[in-house]
């Protein structure tokens, strides 16, 4: 109905009422005397003007109709709030993805195993202080991730413009503020875990910031990153048992793997040489061989004697005369003691399986990168090396007798691999 009225108004402007059969002086045609339907006679080009006016009126009506159809439904309900809600949801998803890329969420699954491996090296079950150490490790790890992108934002603008900071999805000021907040939270959680934990967390935070801001592009870069990973394992030991010496061997193995992967990551964005990939492959082989070597059986090592335990632990760990008798073994699970020989076969088998899984997780991609050291294959090898940290941690736990914790940690590997298909781990 509204369209018909608009057409009649347009025709009324073209053919005013009351004009006679003769054409007007302005050249507009009038309806003929014998034209019953009022059709416009052709003459003087006025029919074209009428057609244009009619089409303009029709277009206006169509635009009004389209506008009305977008704004309201048949029942008169407006669709604009729904469209705005859809845009807000899309913006929220894009923001979440940007932060997931900046934080490298799949790599987070490689962090809890550090503290758990430190606790396992003490042959102590994880407790609430171990959970605090895990929280501290996660915060300091994410501080390093965000600070890494903040420090490399100029380089990423040329080599990786899709990263969150160069693409403008996250501002540099926000990223730096978040890195500071993560660092403060990590130190606060370590302080809650006890003074020994804070003693390790403080140099760990210094190492993370030094690597990102100063040491990354120097020859000391891989060693700084390795030190950070080793300190992270010692953080779990310090928080759980108040000492770190029993965990030094596990920390050294984990740091060696991290050093090799970090050295390989230096040629992620440009054509490199096979040397770094071959070094990573050799490191994997050496660590796998070391993991298959059993630990000394029996009671506590010489550096875990009662003289090295805290005073409040000496009385609790005092054994009865029956336990001092020859042939009797300390029950498994007590802090600072190796598992009983009866569980040695299971521990050995599980350690071998996890060590083999560690080798399989990284050896193939490192071999491909050594044969063709192109950026895509190097990035794939680096990602595999980062994810291989999980079975390495689990193997270290199983080697110390913490079989249940080792299995739980190993279960994180497929989750990290699945998330890495959506969000880049490097």
Per-residue model confidence (pLDDT) at position 330: 41
> Terminal CA-to-CA distance of the chain, rounded, Å?
63
> Residue 8 has what pLDDT?
55
**Spatial contact of 139 and 205, defined as CB atoms under 8 Å apart:** no
Q: Which residue has the tokens 């740091």?
A: 255
**Continuous H helices in 152-247:** 153-159, 172-193, 195-210, 221-241
* Alpha-helix runs per DSSP H in 317-343: 321-324
CB 105 within 8 A of CB 419: yes
Note the residue count of the chain: 426
Please write the tens of the pLDDT for every residue from 387-409.
999 999 999 999 999 999 999 99
Residue 335: the pLDDT is: 46
- CA 226 from centre of chain: 20
> Would you state the pLDDT for residue 204?
98
Question: How much is the pLDDT for 34?
Answer: 41
Task: Please report the pLDDT score of residue 404 as a whole number.
Answer: 94
Helices and strands (H, E) in the chain, number of each type: 18, 0
Tokens of 372: 């063709």
Pick out the chain residues at pLDDT < 70: 1-83, 295-343
**Model pLDDT for residues 333-362, shown as the tens digit of each residue:** 444 445 555 467 888 899 999 999 999 999
């Amino acid at each position: 109905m509204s369209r018909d009225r608009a057409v009649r108004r347009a025709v009324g402007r073209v053919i005013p009422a009351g004009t006679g059969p003769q054409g007007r002086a302005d050249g507009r045609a009038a309806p003929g005397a014998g034209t019953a339907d009022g059709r416009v006679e052709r003459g003087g080009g006025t029919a074209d003007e009428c057609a244009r006016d009619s089409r303009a009126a029709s277009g206006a009506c169509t635009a009004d109709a389209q506008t009305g159809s977008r704004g309201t439904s048949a029942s008169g309900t407006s669709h604009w709030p729904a469209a705005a809600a859809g845009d807000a949801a899309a913006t929220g998803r894009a923001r979440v993805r940007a932060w997931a890329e900046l934080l490298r969420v799949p790599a987070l699954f490689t962090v809890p195993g550090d503290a758990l491996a430190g606790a396992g090296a003490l042959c102590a079950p994880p407790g609430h202080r171990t959970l605090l150490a895990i929280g501290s490790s996660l915060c300091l790890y994410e501080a390093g991730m965000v600070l890494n992108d903040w420090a490399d934002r100029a380089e990423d603008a040329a080599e990786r413009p899709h990263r969150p900071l160069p693409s403008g999805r996250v501002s540099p000021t926000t990223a730096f503020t978040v890195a500071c907040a993560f660092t403060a939270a990590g130190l606060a959680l370590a302080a809650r875990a006890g003074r020994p934990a804070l003693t390790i967390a403080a140099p760990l935070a210094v190492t993370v910031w030094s690597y990102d801001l100063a040491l990354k592009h120097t020859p000391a870069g891989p060693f700084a990153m390795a030190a950070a990973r080793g300190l992270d394992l010692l953080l779990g030991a310090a928080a759980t048992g108040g000492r770190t010496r029993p965990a030094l061997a596990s920390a050294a193995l984990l740091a060696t793997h991290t050093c090799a992967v970090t050295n390989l990551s230096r040629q992620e964005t440009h054509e490199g040489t096979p040397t770094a990939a071959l070094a990573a492959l050799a490191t994997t082989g050496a660590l796998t061989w070391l993991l298959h070597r059993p630990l000394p059986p029996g009671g506590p090592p010489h550096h875990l004697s009662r003289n090295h335990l805290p005073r409040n632990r000496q009385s609790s760990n005092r054994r009865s005369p029956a336990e001092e008798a020859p042939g009797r073994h300390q029950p498994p699970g007590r802090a600072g003691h190796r598992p009983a020989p009866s569980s040695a076969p299971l521990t050995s088998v599980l350690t071998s399986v996890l060590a083999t899984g560690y080798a399989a997780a990284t050896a193939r991609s490192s071999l491909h990168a050594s044969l063709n050291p192109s950026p895509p294959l190097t990035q794939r090898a680096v990602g595999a090396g980062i994810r291989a940290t999980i079975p390495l941690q689990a193997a270290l736990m199983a080697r110390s007798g913490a079989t249940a914790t080792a299995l739980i940690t190993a279960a994180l590997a497929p989750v990290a691999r699945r998330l890495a298909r959506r969000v880049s781990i490097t």
